[in-house]
Structures are given as C-alpha cells and as structure tokens.
Structure 1
C-alpha cells in the first residue's frame, strides 16, 4: 500500500541499537478533520495534519490513490464570523509564542511556525474582509486566538462637489 511513498528527510530518522543494529523511525504523521455546520445549513469539513490523500498519475493516464506527506503540519483552524469581528482559533501545540508568525492582508491570513521540532503552515481565506491593523492575538496552552475587526460591508457612496 505504501510502496512508492516518498517521505521528507525530516520525517525519517535512524538510530543505532546497543547490539549494533539500526532502526528506522518515521513520523510523526498527523491527519484529521473537523466537521461543522455553516450558517446556511451546509456541512463544512476541514482537514488538518501533514498527510493528505491525493491522486497521482499512473500509466496510460490513470490515477491511483496515494498520500502526500509534508514536513510542515497544517493546524486545525476555525474562523467564526461575529457581528463586528472575526474570531480565528488555531491549535498549535508544542511551540512558544515567539515562534509564531502571522500575516494578514485583509482577506487572507497566513500562520507559520518553523522550529527545529515543529513546523506548522496554514493559509486561510477569511470569510469577510478585516482590518489587520486593529487585530489582537493571544496564545495560551497551545491555542492561538485572533480577534480581527470586520471592515464595513461596503463603502457608502460619497458625493463629489463640482468646482
């Protein structure tokens, strides 16, 4: 089943046993999903982890199931739209606050962690436009919480005076 699966170098480790033998250890491999209902009543399924099911090209144009394994793990992230804010919650166990890098351009949020022991990466399209300058973030016990202020739904038309 796993023949032909290429693993990133950081996920395969070798260690010597006292009797002179060698053991290959692989991992960690993380895959999961969260399920919730959207405001329109439709189900929302979000995947997270560093293993993604995919289809690779086989002979004669056929596709065969495979697994894509990445060095960085995609954290579980949830975005909740509230009346005047968007609350984003991300699970980032095993890192320090100073290891987390956040970028937001108003519509997209990028979360990165790159340490010797852990790597996380998530690019999230926000459900509404926000003002990154007024955002607040906190990190405690492996949980990152962001509160982003929503931009007004639309700019009101302004009259232009003719000189």
Structure 2
C-alpha cells in the first residue's frame, strides 16, 4: 500500500481524512498526516512563579534515559529521541536562572524542569 491509499479495514481512515481536511484548510497546503508524521517539535511552556522558572515540555513516547538537558543560565536545550520522533529544542528563558539549582522530573510524557532565578546583581567588594 502506498502513502495516501485507503485501507477500508482501518476504522481510523475517516478520522485521519477529516483531520487532513481541517489542517489543509488552516494551513492552505497539502498536508498528509500519514506521511508527515506527528512533528518533531515538543510543546514547551515556560512559567515564572515568583523566584522560580518552570520549563514544561510534552514529549510522549520518550524514555526518561533518552532525555539530555543542558542549561547555560539563559537557554535550556532539550535533546531526546524515541522510536517515532526526535526532539532538539533550544528555549530562551525569560530571565537568567541559576543552572545549578535545576530540579527535573519526567512523568507520563511530561518533562518539568524548575530553576531558581539568578541574582540580578553581584556584590563587589573593594
């Protein structure tokens, strides 16, 4: 069977056809979700909560040990892979954070990394 061919035994064909129709209407293009896949970008949300900055990323299907996180205080880089997807995201943070304060958890496909804000100024002794 070639991409785009219908399999009358697949009960999801009608659902995929409707999703493609809606996506084509929104994107003014020729979208074929059967060949395009589900995308490689993680949905990422950044929240500021007082002295904390939270980075939350939806990465379903990724094993915890396949996630690599780095932070330079201004950006968080998330590298991960599963059988179906690769995630390679570099996210700018709204404020400078103390990368040494990072606390990460991964549950049910949701990665959450919490940082403390970095001090905005340094004391200089004379």
TM-score, normalization: structure 2?
A: 0.69
Q: 2:115 aligns with which of 143, 148, 151?
A: 148
Q: Give the match for residue 10 of structure 2.
A: none
3-state SS, counterpart of residue 121 of structure 2? coil
Worse-matched range after superposition: 115-124 or 138-147: 115-124
Larger strand proportion, structure 1 or 2?
1
Q: Which runs of 4+ in 1 moved over 6 A?
A: none
TM-score, normalization: structure 1?
A: 0.55
Larger helix proportion, structure 1 or 2?
2
3-state SS, counterpart of residue 54 of structure 2? strand
Which is bigger in relative contact order (C-alpha 8 A, separation at least 6)? 2
| Alignment check: 8 A CA contact 2:63 2:82 kept | no
Q: Give the match for residue 26 of structure 1.
A: 35
Runs of at least 5 residues in structure 1 that lack an aligned partner in the other structure: 1-21, 30-49, 51-72
Q: Give the match for residue 95 of structure 1.
A: 62
- 1:118 to partner: Cα distance: 1.8
**Is residue 82 of structure 2 the alignment partner of residue 115 of structure 1?**
yes
- Structure (1 or 2) with the larger CA radius of gyration: 1
Aligned residue pairs, count: 96
Q: Give the match for residue 127 of structure 1.
A: 94
Runs of at least 5 residues in structure 2 that lack an aligned partner in the other structure: 4-33
1:1-163 equivalence runs, <5 A:
22-24=1-3, 26-29=35-38, 50=39, 73-156=40-123, 158-160=124-126
- 1:104 to partner: Cα distance: 0.4
